[in-house]
Amino acid sequence: MKIIQAVPHVGNEASGPTYSVVRLAQTLAQAGNDVLLLSTKDGFLPESLRFKHQIFPTSKFPDTLWRSPGLYRALQAEGLNSDFIHSHSMWVMPNVYPGWVSRLKSIPLVVSPRGTMSSWALSNSAIKKAIVLASVSEKGC
């Protein structure tokens, strides 16, 4: 099975997702799956983990949304041959792109919000969330 996982990043300051997303990818790969982890910014992982990790730069504006046209293009290309996409987190573009690709290519999508639906998270950065929701609505996700 080919599985794509998308996460904003797996740098040290990401803590929980850095550990859990990487371990999930590793376990899926050890079980014989073809796993591709797509992220932005930083977080180089050792090649010994048995899955492929690609890191893409983000655009400078708006920096808080972590726009990454390269990550989006990779999702579109890799999605053609994937069995499903797993998006970790919400509210930034690396987590919106999987919904767009999933819908366009009819690929099953799993979303793990990872705390982003808590009361605190929903009340924080309301403008950013409005932009992301408008973006999602625009693409029909």
Whole-angstrom CA distances from 38 to 9, 34, 52, 126, 131 are 8, 13, 9, 26, 22
- Mean pLDDT over the full length of the chain: 83
Is residue 15 scored above 60 in pLDDT? yes
Q: Report pLDDT for 43.
A: 67
Q: Report pLDDT for 12.
A: 66
Q: Report pLDDT for 139.
A: 59
Q: Report pLDDT for 14.
A: 52
Question: Tens digits of per-residue pLDDT, 51-68?
Answer: 998 999 988 776 677 889
**Helix or strand (DSSP H, E) at 36:** strand 34-40
Q: How many Å apart are CA 21 and CA 9, to the nearest integer? A: 10
Alpha carbon distance, N-terminus to C-terminus of the chain: 24
Q: Report pLDDT for 136.
A: 63
The encoded tokens of residue 69 equal 């046209």
For 92-138, give the DSSP string.
Answer: SHHHHHHHHHHHHHT--EEEE-TTTTSHHHHHSSHHHHHHHHHHHHH
Question: Tens digits of per-residue pLDDT, 74-84?
Answer: 999 998 899 99
Q: Where do the domains of the chain lie, and which CATH numbers do they carry?
A: 2-139 (3.40.50.2000)
